[in-house]
Amino acid sequence: MTSYISLPQFEATLDERLRLVAAKCDACDTLTYPKRPICPSCGGDAFTDQPLSGKGEIYSFTHILGATVPSEFDEEQQISGDVCVAVLQLDEGPRLIARLADVTPDALEIGLRVEARVRKLYDQEGVQRYGLKFVPLQALGVLPRRPVRTRPA
């Protein structure tokens, strides 16, 4: 199983993918992410870009095992052994399906606070793809800090 996204299609959506830019309907202020050509609330077709905070919580989740993992994530599964995916409720309102990082399946729970981080996704057509994964705030708080480098005197 592969979820193929061509390089031109991937590059065309980088702003949306890496900066979490939503579409705010000019008629009714509904936020949609990912962007859609028509507002799901009022049918309007005029939007203004609105960056999202990248903060939210787990609405639902799953842990993908073994042969059911899309082939582009084979390398990650070999390294971490786990592929965790969640439906997230962002603080601004939109829900999205996203990959999780820095969490084990037994730590997943509905309502767990998460925050977006740019991470390596997979290699496809010889190009390393990066995108957002969501990391539990607890994991961000307990990660070891990098040592501060000082300039030689």
Report the interface residues with Zn ion, using CB under 5 A.
Answer: 25, 27-28, 30, 39, 41-42, 44
What is the enclosing helix (H) or strand (E) of 32? strand 31-32
Q: What share of the chain is helix, strand, coil (3-state, %, to 5)?
A: 20, 40, 40
**Would you say 28 or 118 has its CB closer to Zn ion?**
28
**Nearest-approach distance from CB 88 to Zn ion, in angstroms:** 22
**Nearest-approach distance from CB 44 to Zn ion, in angstroms:** 4
Are 19 and 51 a contacting pair, CB within 8 Å?
A: yes
In one letter, which amino acid is 88?
L
**Nearest-approach distance from CB 52 to Zn ion, in angstroms:** 17
Are 25 and 46 a contacting pair, CB within 8 Å?
A: yes
**Would you say 39 or 103 has its CB closer to Zn ion?**
39
In one letter, which amino acid is 115?
E
Tell me: cis bond preceding 34? Omega within 30 of 0 counts: yes
**Would you say 32 or 73 has its CB closer to Zn ion?**
32
**Nearest-approach distance from CB 48 to Zn ion, in angstroms:** 11
**Would you say 44 or 70 has its CB closer to Zn ion?**
44
Are 40 and 90 a contacting pair, CB within 8 Å?
A: no
